[in-house]
Structure 1
């Protein structure tokens, strides 16, 4: 691979939008470009954190093949996939019908051509956890900017601001609920019966919830007949009437109810003071930072906000 071609490939890698990732066509693995050097391009895979060097001489082998024949993407070996993806960034190569092809004379400008299927933009590349963080940060900034005293103040907001408040609240709630459910199983594995776990912001304990629903009418009436209970006592199979019958006779609960027990982690305490102190401490430290370090951090927060605004606008 000559210097001009290699230089162009490095430039295309370095021009990728910050936060965007690349996607392998067969194994469906996400990776990003960490750096480019004179003889290699270093990539990092998101699922493992593994860094892998992609060598210039290996790119040359693939380019030689592409100049005479197409490369079928479906048949790529895992070790070759990232090479093909990186090559697809160059103007002279394109993805056509599940194949990487060489198009040296293409007159389609790279910015006006079809979207590269292996490039995942930053707004879509964020993980669910990153989305929760970003949404919560935006909602917190919005609430702070609006200086709301209570929920009644929402009625005085302009329609566009009220819409943003609703959208962000919904996104944070949905994302937080997914995170809560994902945390439930490992929490339950660490919670023994009647045990309480304590964190910085609150506590949880293991609780068993029992849900019952009447069996079908035929089964219930047969059980009542077997125990000499008049059917009219529960005509229509009213659950509240069944409760009384179960309590007042020798009829077993399981004879007339399908009983289902659900084990879950119940929130039993919240330390709002600790949460507020933590958030205030973070805000104070950011505000007190001066010089390049403080400016860099504030720029990073502004970038996060811009990313979320772009994502919300895209939806």
Structure 2
């Protein structure tokens, strides 16, 4: 089929999009909307950028992508796209014969119903009045920590009472632990969406897939025999085994200091957490805000809502996994 036919089909699909429809790029997850549809190009507006927000997408570049898909058995790997070409497959997915397979990291040609990169209306952030508290431990602990930070003068920690310092340390520890647990859960999902060390950006930063190489020695005898066969003297590679030294100390009168260099240091460790007290304080904050109508309370509510919005941005990853579905209408 000539590209000109597919191009005009795509333009017709773009014309039929509802006003304000938002698309998302498959790799960088950038959100954008159509600004103008012309015979030789499509102009888009990025929603998450402060500079270079408007960009034209040229027809000849769409044709190049079209050829790469059709000439490669109906599939093309997204990570082979040139830099900044991410919007092209997102727009091409509006064509009823092309869709983005994010699990495989490819744009594919298909004869059946296809999904687009158009975000559903219900995927947009809800109004503040409709927001609900996320059921995340780090969320509650972060609110409590912010409240504690605001109630104390932190210019000099030495001036704080001991119980205040204990509370701050406990909350910092809880936030760190729960945030790290949440970070690992998010990383597991991100690993399925990142391809070949290609950075993916969001409003607050960027991430990329990296690899870590771990190694462990094979059986001791096998290692020694292999190295001796290569001309390495056994004495060059044998060393004191700490576990064997500890076993030896148990059957001798020697002390640890006789064979170890010991450097002692002191540190603070969280011993216990009063979850009931934390929950009571958290509920008290919410009840106090709900009952008060003065300007100071309204200002504090606004600050907490802004904090909640920021926490949600930092602890969530919006996806384009819920898409509009089109039937094969061409």
TM-score by length of 2: 0.39
| Higher RCO (CA 8 Å, separation ≥ 6 residues) | 2
Structure with the bigger percentage of helix: 1
Structure with the bigger percentage of strand: 1
